[in-house]
Amino acid sequence: GQNIDQPTEMTATEGAIVQINCTYQTSGFNGLFWYQQHAGEAPTFLSYNVLDGLEEKGRFSSFLSRSKGYSYLLLKELQMKDSASYLCAYMDSNYQLIWGAGTKLIIKP
Amino acid sequence: GAVVSQHPSRVICKSGTSVKIECRSLDFQATTMFWYRQFPKQSLMLMATSNEGSKATYEQGVEKDKFLINHASLTLSTLTVTSAHPEDSSFYICSANPGLALETQYFGPGTRLLVL
C-alpha cells in the first residue's frame, strides 16, 4: 500500500518556529519532497531530500532519515503568508510520487 | 524556472457535456506529464501518467473512457472529461517532467471544474 502520514493540522505563532513531521513506509525510495499549497492553488515545490541529513533553504529546512522513514519540514521566523497546506510526498521505485494528505498550517498573530 | 500553464483556470458546465483541459509546458519539453485530481481538503490523487506519443497509463479506479488523455506533442497534454457529472467537480492539476532529472515535477496552476 501507500503508507505516508503527516498531521492534519498545526497551529503556530507569527515569528515562531514550527516543525511538520512526515513518516512513510516503502520498499522502493527515490527521494522525499515537500510542497506548499495555498488554498485554491496548485502545489509549489519547496524541497527535495534523497540523502540523509538536513537541507537548508532560507527560512525553510527539510530533514530526512531513510532508515527511520522519517522527514520533517522546519519553518523559521513564521510569517502570516506561510499559512498553507504542506504536502510531503515520496517517490517510489517507479519514480511515481506518493502523496501525504497534507498538513494545514495556521499562523496566528 | 520551468513554467507550466493550464487552460481554462475555471470552468462551469452542464451535466452531460464534455470539458477539455489543456496543460502546456511553456519553456521546456515535457516527455512526461501527470494529471491529478484534488477534492476539497484532500491530497492530490494521481489519475494518469501521460507520455508523448503513446497511450496514457491510468491509475486503478480511473475510467479511461471517461477521462481521455492526449499527449500529442512534447509541450501539450489534454484531459477531456467526457459526459461530466456533478461528482466530477474537482480541482484538476497537471504537472510536467522535463526529463532532465526524474525528481523534478513542475505543476500547472490547476483547473477548477464545476458540473451543474
pLDDT band at B1 (very low <50, low <70, confident <90, very high): low
Of B30, B5, B23, B29, nearest to B80 (Cα)? B23
- A31-53 per-position pLDDT tens digit: 999 999 998 888 888 999 999 99
With contacts defined as CB-CB under 8 Å, which chain A residues touch B93? 42-43
- B30-59 per-position pLDDT tens digit: 888 999 998 887 888 899 998 888 889 999
CB B114 within 8 A of CB B12: yes
SS3 call for B86: helix
B102–A95 C-beta distance less than 8 A: yes
Interface with chain A: mutation pick from B35, B36, B43, B113, highest number of A CBs within 10 Å: B43
